[in-house]
Structure 1
């Protein structure tokens, strides 16, 4: 029998925090996050900033796991313009990218609801496992809000669905077939599990469902059977609920939630999801409402000895510094985009009023990478005219090849 919500919260205690030690870094992080959120909300380059945050944070998530994924490779993979065969690490980074987009496309409370967590884990329709007592009562409201968001954001999600990573799906299917074949050759009886049908508005959900089925088929080879993910996740959500009841500052609550995730370790194969949920907590609390915060990018600049320290105070100071570093980097990225916008707009002098160059500038700022076909489609011009506009704008070519080229600055 599962423990009660009161006993669950005992999995992680935060009653004896050294506030005198934390108050300085906390104030700095609170100030920088508030400043970043205000600037992003009012920035004319907000769309481009948000897209670049998705890619940078996804690459940083893999870096924290010890894998190197170049942001430019991830950008080209996302638009199906790979210059080499995608690696397993690149496919994982793309899964992080899709999850970030999905969280931001829903209401702030969706990601931390049981509906949202099951969806992000690729387990829709499998019941409300891992739901804490505090969130059980609000589940119908969260499901209704998520359904409303799906209706409102149908068009924006349709584009993501059209760009779903077909290669990742094929590789996942091959992995599942190999796993079943290996077990059959070993003489085991195996009945393949039918994965839940993916939602039509979910980019990459089919691939994640097949990945989950493949992992389940391998069983003890890659999973610890004593690792109760649902119970651990319920313990973590109980901590999050208790943080909300304490009326704690949003950044400090997010820092404690991050440390609790590292301590409880709910998921065996999606540990990176914890950082996204912490960023979603900041969004739910209204601290960073204009975008999904890049916590992975901030943790990347913090030494591993501090992030993995055996002393909780050291870990909390490390994550507070990560919040501040990520916010500071975000402010610099906004300045960089604004400067690039000003430099490109100088080329509009003495241009005719019906020129397509201003529209191209907006497109380049909004998208990390653009191709001749994309420019021609968006601006309703020929591909030859698109190549001419790119030459006038003098933006960097990122594929390094003569055909099927793409341009932009990441």
Structure 2
């Protein structure tokens, strides 16, 4: 992890909390073993990609729910596929941003999200200087300055410089669209507190993460999450604190995936009250992680059972059948509609109807009672 910019801090570092290691060692060990067992079970099942895809979508919805906003998971699935049935609401776009943040964290190697560049990309503002290509950082020559283009006057291809600039622009645009280089946004004083220095708070938080890097993974993630809440970092991004805690567990090698901590927080009875002893906050995070593991295991069990039932049907199909791909859609999304399946499988809606009929009793549960809008999902 790159923490070189922390040297510019003028404010004192956050104090590292004192923990009673003798009394909490047993619970930390049990939780660590539970996470490792789930990770081994997930990898052995062969459903890791589908489970993570479903988890990211449901986590985005639950994160907005914790902030007091309701978003239908079906709307998020259709919005993600570019098949909105109505104009996206503000809450839906925020849920899509949460989904994009989790996917960005999973797309890169584990230590990257817990860094300046990774945090900038996950929160959707700022730039990633270390990841930008050399051509995109190069100063653009003035088109009216003949001296700037004199070096290319005798080239065999006089348009080489112009094409290079176009390629650099296209490369920067691709990085922005993929979330690698978020666009800078203006900060309105009507929305943001001008007296709050979020950059300094972010530096303090990253410094605390660095100083607890030798701790057990669960304890380090718990302290980082509580410090995030104490610093009141990015309150308009309610999903980011738990995503960073899950990223710390992943960066420490405890898991290769992002656990559904937002679902665990919603299910648990722990609510941070601001002031409290370090052990109480650690116990609260452990309860959140335990609830998240229980939810993750139940979802994995549903996926395994559904795959087994649908696999009995797909085993009898032809080698060029699209039915196994439809099964993969059910295993990777909270719900599937006929138009969604037709678009992603590149077949007609009639073909999707026939494949749904072919599944018979193995077809997942129908989630709607309407005839014009039909959706099925593994619940």
TM-score range, shorter chain: 0.7 to 0.9
Distance 1:253 1:50, change over 3 A: same
More helix by share: 1
Question: Does the CA contact (< 8 Å) of 2:36 and 2:254 recur in 1?
Answer: yes
Gaps in structure 1 of 5+ consecutive residues: 128-139, 148-196
The TM-score with structure 1 as length reference comes to 0.72
Residue of structure 1 in register with 2:192 after alignment? 223
Aligned to 1:89: 91
What secondary structure, in the 3-state scheme, does the structure 2 residue paired with 1:11 have?
A: coil
In structure 2, relative to structure 1, the CA distance for the partners of 1:285 and 1:341 (3 Å cut) is same
State how far apart, in whole Å, the 1-side matches of 2:111 and 2:39 are.
18
Residue aligning to 1:322: 288
RMSD: 3.2
Give the Å deviation of 1:50: 0.6
Aligned pairs, how many? 335
C-alpha offsets along residues 290-310 of structure 1, whole Å, 9 cap, x if unaligned?
Answer: x22222111112225456563
String of CA shifts for 1:380-405, please: whole Å, max 9, x gaps.
54332221111222334446654465
- Which residue of structure 2 aligns with residue 30 of structure 1? 32
Instruction: Give the C-alpha shift of residue 3 in structure 1.
Output: 8.7
- Post-superposition Cα deviations, 1:264-301, rounded to whole Å, max 9, x if no partner, equal 22324334312211211111111111x22222111112
Residue aligning to 2:202: 233
CA displacement at 1:84 relative to structure 2: 5.0
Q: Match of 1:266?
A: 233
**Partner of residue 265, structure 2:** 299
Q: 1:118 to 1:346 in 2, by over 3 A?
A: same
Change (3 A) 1:6 1:249: farther
Alpha-carbon distance in structure 2 between the residues aligned to 1:207 and 1:222: 23
> 1:275 aligns to what?
242
Looking at structure 1, the residues matched to 273 and 305 of structure 2 have their Cα atoms a distance apart, in angstroms, of 34
Q: 1:307 to 1:251 in 2, by over 3 A?
A: farther
Q: Is the 8 A contact 1:108 1:284 kept in 2?
A: yes
Residues 1:250 and 2:180 are matched in the alignment = no
Maintained 8 Å contact 1:32/1:328: no
Q: 2:331: which partner in 1?
A: 365
SS state at 2:109 partner: coil
- 2-side partners of 1:327 and 1:273: how far apart? 19
- Say if 1:237 and 1:203 are closer, same or farther in 2 by CA, change over 3 A: same
Indicate how the Cα distance of structure 1 residues 363 and 72 shifts in structure 2: closer, same or farther if over 3 A, else same. Answer: closer
| Distance of 1:126 and 1:384 partners within structure 2 | 46
CA distance in 1 between counterparts of 2:240 and 2:111 reads 16
Decide whether aligned partners of structure 1 residues 121 and 365 sit closer, same or farther in structure 2, where only a CA change above 3 A counts.
Answer: closer
The secondary structure found in structure 2 opposite 1:200 is helix
Equivalences for 1:35-114 in 2 at 5 Å?
35-83=37-85, 85-114=87-116
Contact 1:397–1:406 at 8 Å: present in 2 too? yes
**Superposition deviation, residue 369 in structure 1:** 3.4
Q: 2:143 is matched with which residue?
A: none
Which residue does 2:174 correspond to in 1? 200
**Residue 98 of structure 1 contacts residue 203 of structure 1 at CA under 8 Å; is this kept in 2?**
no
Alignment gaps of 5+ in structure 2: 134-170
Tell me, in whole angstroms, the C-alpha distance in 2 between the residues paired with 1:285 and 1:337: 27
- In structure 2, relative to structure 1, the CA distance for the partners of 1:206 and 1:23 (3 Å cut) is closer
2:299 to 333, 340, 360: 333
Give distance in 2, aligned partners of 1:207 and 1:75.
Answer: 24
Q: Distance in 2 between matches of 1:388 and 1:107?
A: 41
CA gap 1:12/1:71 in 2 versus in 1, 3 angstroms:
farther
Indicate conservation of the 8 Å contact 2:117/2:128, yes or no: no
1:326 Cα deviation (Å)? 0.7
Tell me which of 343, 353, 366 is aligned to 1:387.
353
Deviation at 1:85, TM superposition (A): 4.6
Distance 1:382 1:249, change over 3 A: same
Greater Rg over alpha carbons, structure: 2
